[in-house]
Structure 1
Amino acid sequence: MLVPLTREKFEQLVPLVATFPQYKYHWGKVSDFLKRLLISVVGGVVVTIAYSVLGEGSAGGLILFFLGVATSLYWLWAPVFWATLRNLEARKPRHSGFWQGRVLDAYVSEELIGTEETVNKRGELVLVENRERRLNLEVGDESGFRIPVQVPLRREHKAIRPDQVAHMVVMSHLPDLSRIAKISDIYIPSQNIWVSDYPQVQRDNFLEVSRRLSAQPKPRKSPRRRAAMDM
């Protein structure tokens, strides 16, 4: 089942400004914070030196003052900036719909996410592979629409089973939504589980639409759609 959304409703579901979960996602690990902090410190020092050269009274000095303040706080506002850019990208398709289908398949795999060089006890340089367990989920509906999703494995994902109802927002550049360009987080209502790598939607608003959709009678047939993901 696919219910078209108005642009106003879509923008409530996919906000422009970063939500707290999105800010938390882009805040990252301690290493990510330290990188941002280093950029703030180095940038602040450079701007301070330039400011002292130009002097306080000049127009350039005033600009550098505000630039220095912004640079020194980069560690704080950068997650908002990157999340907002990601939201802008998700809002590019002009048409959207709230989709209901089912889980077709779910299994766990181990994926290579990176490599790093290190030295062993004998002083030899070795290459270490970093692997991560991931959930592979495929959802679809009676129209033949199928889409695979892979996300980092979470403990709650073990409750996901084939044939469970799945909800998500789909985005398209076409008014009839016949070609899907992007999808949002996937929600499994029966288990109250979110499947996503990134918290794209405003979840309170999403759950409200999800409850309304679950209460509607299911149509006999849905139009055929194709996935053309550019995520």
Structure 2
Amino acid sequence: MLIPLTRQTFHELVPAVATSEQYQHCWGKPSQFIRRLLVSAVGTLILALVELSVQFEGRQILLIPLVMFALYWLWGPIWDASIRNRQFRKYPYCGFWQGKVLDYYISEAVTNEQESVNSKGDLIIIENLERRINVEVGDKTGFVVKIEAPLNRNHKRLSRGQVAVMLVTSYLDDLSSINEVSDVYIPSQNIWVGSYPYLRRDMFMEITREMRSRYGRPQSRSPRRTPSPRQQAYD
């Protein structure tokens, strides 16, 4: 089932400013917070030293960037999420798509690498691995998308054949070629799968209930997917 949505609905589902889920996602791990805190501290220190070296009139100009650097650790995730939202919102057309879970499996991905030295003095590289869930969703017409996300305990409730819904975007008004897809929602289990929470979840869940009540079973229409570089990494 593929139902076109209006541009207004699209912008409401993917707001320009970060949602609470997006903010929490971009907050990241403790190492990412420490990195932002260091940038904030170093930037604040440099601007404070510059402020002391300029005349009084120039100090007023430096006040705004000084405050911005001082609070970078706090507003950094908002900026990161807003950039990702803007990249997703650039497509002029979007639609509500319903299919089913075709397959799912667990894999491991390297999150980062660290250099160390063993007892013999040899340089070794330690890879930090993260377990990830890979979910393939599609319909009877052959439209298939694979979504990858960090594994969590909710993914134990995944099963083949479950109804899956998501938002798809396109440059074409008939949605015959899909460029990007959102995170996937499994209504029967109330779980989400995706590397980033693109959607305003409360609103999308309401649209899901409305669409499934109005249209019921999936229809034969299906888009032709044109993968983006981000989606090609899933395949």
TM-score calculated relative to the size of structure 1: 0.93
> In the superposition, relative to structure 1, how do residues 189 and 204 fare at CA in structure 2: closer, same or farther (>3 Å)?
same
Gaps in structure 2 of 5+ consecutive residues? 231-235
Residue 180 of structure 1: aligned partner: 178
* 1:142 and 1:222 in contact (8 A); partners too: no
Residue 129 of structure 1: aligned partner: 127
* 1:179 and 1:228 in contact (8 A); partners too: no
Residue 228 of structure 2: aligned partner: 229
Note the alpha carbon deviations across 1:108-131, whole angstroms, 9 max, x for none. Answer: 122333322112344432222222
Residue 53 of structure 1: aligned partner: 53
Residue 214 of structure 1: aligned partner: 212
Residue 98 of structure 2: aligned partner: 100
% of aligned pairs identical? 46
| Residue identity matched to 2:167 | V
> In terms of mean alpha carbon deviation, does 89-98 or 127-136 score higher?
127-136
| Residue identity matched to 1:42 | V
Residue 171 of structure 1: aligned partner: 169
| Residue identity matched to 2:169 | M
> In the superposition, relative to structure 1, how do residues 41 and 121 fare at CA in structure 2: closer, same or farther (>3 Å)?
same
| Residue identity matched to 2:52 | S
| Residue identity matched to 2:216 | P
Work out the number of aligned pairs and report it. 229
Residue 21 of structure 1: aligned partner: 21
TM-aligned CA deviation for residue 219 of structure 1:
5.5
Find the aligned partners of 2:121 and 2:32 in 1 and give their Cα distance. Answer: 29
1:140-151 correspondence runs (5 A): 140-151=138-149
TM-aligned CA deviation for residue 177 of structure 1:
0.6
TM-aligned CA deviation for residue 143 of structure 1:
2.2
Hey, which bits of structure 1, 4+ residues long, moved more than 3 A?
Answer: 121-124
| Residue identity matched to 2:47 | V
| Residue identity matched to 2:221 | S
Which SS does the other structure have where 1:10 is aligned? helix
Find the aligned partners of 1:161 and 1:42 in 2 and give their Cα distance. Answer: 49
Note the alpha carbon deviations across 1:78-131, whole angstroms, 9 max, x for none. Answer: 111111111100100010001000111111122333322112344432222222
> In terms of mean alpha carbon deviation, does 166-175 or 120-129 score higher?
120-129
Which SS does the other structure have where 2:17 is aligned? coil
Which SS does the other structure have where 1:109 is aligned? strand
TM-aligned CA deviation for residue 220 of structure 1:
4.3
| Residue identity matched to 2:188 | S
Find the aligned partners of 1:22 and 1:16 in 2 and give their Cα distance. Answer: 11
